[in-house]
Amino acid sequence: MRLAHLSVILFCALITISCSRKTTTTLDQSSASERTKFDAQQKSLLLSGSASDPMRLFLTTNESDSLLLRQRAAEVIPNPSDPLLNACIDRLLTTVQDSMSLGVGIAAPQVGILKRIIWVQRFDKEGFPFEVYLNPVIKQYTKKKQNCMEGCLSIPDKQAETKVRAYAILLEYDTREGEHITEMVEDFTAVIFQHEIDHLDGKLFIDLLEE
């Protein structure tokens, strides 16, 4: 009887240890991934339509949209089987290619999702394909600049020439499959990358104008 009692205590103690270990691990994992996962608000935005439905563009003319457009976006973890990441990637493409927008690039904050995801139309590749980039970072800029007439899907009725964009950039990014790529991009396509990556840091092309 006494032995049985002792073994029950021992068993309970073992369970407690293994449970507390498990809990600690789970907590660590979730706090690390919390920063990169989609929150409830982002989730409801993304699941408000199917992949073929464009999302509402956040505009500088709307006060609360404007606040979000000025925030820094968080990194994402590439994962081809994450349904929310896929929804975000697919709906961003639908939005930039929508007849109401017809843009040459888009960044996730422009649809209210503060994540480091952009689509860029590659005018330096045959057929001018749209390509998606996760966590893009510009590692180097040429001293040589280029002038470029810019517009933005989030800034209605505004086009202006910027004179401070680098002619070429050295770019690093992740693909949706998790490959890490380094690439040199130049000319007009380099401007699109600079414009879209600025969005991920809450910067807009109008900040670069002289007036």
Contacts with Zn ion by CB under 5 A lie at 152
Nearer to Zn ion, 55 or 152 (CB): 152
- The active-site residue out of 63, 186, 196, 210 is 196
Nearer to Zn ion, 96 or 152 (CB): 152
Which one, of 145, 167, 149, 162, lies nearest residue 207 by Cα?
162
The residue sitting closest to Zn ion, measured at its beta carbon, is 152
Nearer to Zn ion, 66 or 79 (CB): 66
Nearer to Zn ion, 185 or 200 (CB): 200
The phi, psi pair for 124, rounded to 5°, reads -95, 5
Taking a C-beta distance cutoff of 8 angstroms, is the pair 73, 133 a contact?
A: no
Nearer to Zn ion, 59 or 77 (CB): 59
The phi, psi pair for 117, rounded to 5°, reads -135, 130
Q: Residue 92 Cβ, how far from Zn ion at the closest point, in Å?
A: 13
Taking a C-beta distance cutoff of 8 angstroms, is the pair 185, 172 a contact?
A: no
Catalytic residue list contains 34: no
Q: Residue 198 Cβ, how far from Zn ion at the closest point, in Å?
A: 8
Q: How far apart are the C-alpha atoms of 137 and 133, rounded to whole Å?
A: 10
The phi, psi pair for 53, rounded to 5°, reads -95, 125
Rounded to 10 degrees, what is the CA torsion of 100, 102, 103, 105? 110
Q: Residue 178 Cβ, how far from Zn ion at the closest point, in Å?
A: 27
Give start and end residues of each alpha helix (H) in the chain: 2-34, 40-46, 63-69, 83-97, 187-200
Q: Residue 16 Cβ, how far from Zn ion at the closest point, in Å?
A: 54
Q: Residue 18 Cβ, how far from Zn ion at the closest point, in Å?
A: 51
Rounded to 10 degrees, what is the CA torsion of 20, 22, 27, 33? 170
Q: Which residues are the active-site residues? A: 196
